[in-house]
């Protein structure tokens, strides 16, 4: 019998629908992901992601970024709530804010994001729209470590999605979303099993 790692303690940051959060919660509930979501935090009130968390019995709270004078002050409030919940990895699941260096250094090399395109192309909020506008034949999704840029940071895994000539924004986005759900869970399974490890902090051996 192989020893099992302790469950991964996750904090999930959201801003909206929370379908990626749901995929994570479902994988935990089915036993395929060895993790616990300790807390879900939204920067926007009354979003569906908060309801999804509460339905799964996960503590969920809103920390509105608009209540804070600076990004640093907002990020300090996030860090404090995540630390109180004893989170070890932070997952951005549709979180629409750029994090400050202060936040990044609170969870060094242990913050991951999912993006609905094959990075490094199509960064930003309207990735599927950009893909259609370019006329690309293949797009997809990326799970990556988070750094100070927008949708930048070391790539962990990608999945391709073929663009059909008949696709519109809704149909393409739906297929990318479905791919994201699988990829996100699969990367978290790899982290939980120790197959993907925290990035070394800058200046440490192994850092670029
Ligand atoms: C996803 O497409 C994710 O890649 C992007 O925001 C979207 C969030 O979707 N960062 P959901 O809230 O998980 O449904």
User: Does the pLDDT value for residue 202 go beyond 50?
Assistant: yes
Q: What number of CA atoms fall less than 13 Å from residue 169's CA on the CB side?
A: 6
- Minimal-distance CA residue to ligand 1 atom 10: 94
Atom number of ligand 1 nearest to Cα 173 = 2
- pLDDT band at residue 69 under the 50/70/90 scheme: very high
- Over residues 130-177, the pLDDT tens digits come to 999 999 999 999 999 998 877 779 999 999 999 999 999 999 999 999
pLDDT attached to residue 204: 52
- Minimal-distance CA residue to ligand 1 atom 4: 115
CA distances from 35 to 67, 87, 201, 202 (A): 31, 11, 23, 27
Alpha carbon of 186 to ligand 1 centroid (Å) = 16
pLDDT attached to residue 189: 98
Nearest Cα neighbor of 53 from 6, 20, 85 is: 20
Pocket test for ligand 1, best of 114, 115, 181, 183 (most atoms within 8 A of CB): 114
pLDDT attached to residue 208: 44
pLDDT attached to residue 200: 84
User: Does the pLDDT value for residue 36 go beyond 90?
Assistant: yes
For residues 55-65, average pLDDT: 98
Alpha carbon of 73 to ligand 1 centroid (Å) = 25
User: Does the pLDDT value for residue 207 go beyond 60?
Assistant: no
Alpha carbon of 18 to ligand 1 centroid (Å) = 7
For residues 87-96, average pLDDT: 97
- Over residues 3-30, the pLDDT tens digits come to 678 999 999 999 999 999 999 999 999 9
Q: Any catalytic annotation for residue 65? A: no
> Which residue in the list 115, 144, 177, 181 is annotated as catalytic?
115
Atom number of ligand 1 nearest to Cα 113 = 10
**75: Cβ contacts below 8 Å, ≥ 6 apart:** 99, 100, 102, 103
| Alpha helices (runs of H) in the chain, residue ranges in sequence order | 19-30, 48-55, 71-84, 101-106, 127-134, 169-192
3-class secondary-structure state, position 31: coil
Residue 41 near residue 66, CB atoms below 8 Å: no
pLDDT attached to residue 206: 46
């Amino acid at each position: 019998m192989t020893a099992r790692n302790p469950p991964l303690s996750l904090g999930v940051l959201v801003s909206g629908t929370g379908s990626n959060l749901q995929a994570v919660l479902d994988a935990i509930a089915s036993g395929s992901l060895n993790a616990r979501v300790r807390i879900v935090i939204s920067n926007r009130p009354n979003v569906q992601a908060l309801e999804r968390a509460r339905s799964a019995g996960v503590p969920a709270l809103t920390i509105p970024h608009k209540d804070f004078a600076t990004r640093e002050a907002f990020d300090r409030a996030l860090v404090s709530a995540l630390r109180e919940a004893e989170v070890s990895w932070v997952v951005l699941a549709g979180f629409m804010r750029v994090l400050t260096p202060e936040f990044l250094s609170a969870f060094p090399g242990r913050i991951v994001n999912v993006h609905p395109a094959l990075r490094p192309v199509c960064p930003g909020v309207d990735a599927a729209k950009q893909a259609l506008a370019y006329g690309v034949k293949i797009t997809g999704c990326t799970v990556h470590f988070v750094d100070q840029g927008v949708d930048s940071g070391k790539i962990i895994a990608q999945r391709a999605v073929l663009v059909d000539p008949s696709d519109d924004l809704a149909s393409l986005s739906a297929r990318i979303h479905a791919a994201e759900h699988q990829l996100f869970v699969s990367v978290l399974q790899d982290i939980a099993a120790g197959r993907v490890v925290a990035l070394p902090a800058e200046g440490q051996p192994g850092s670029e």
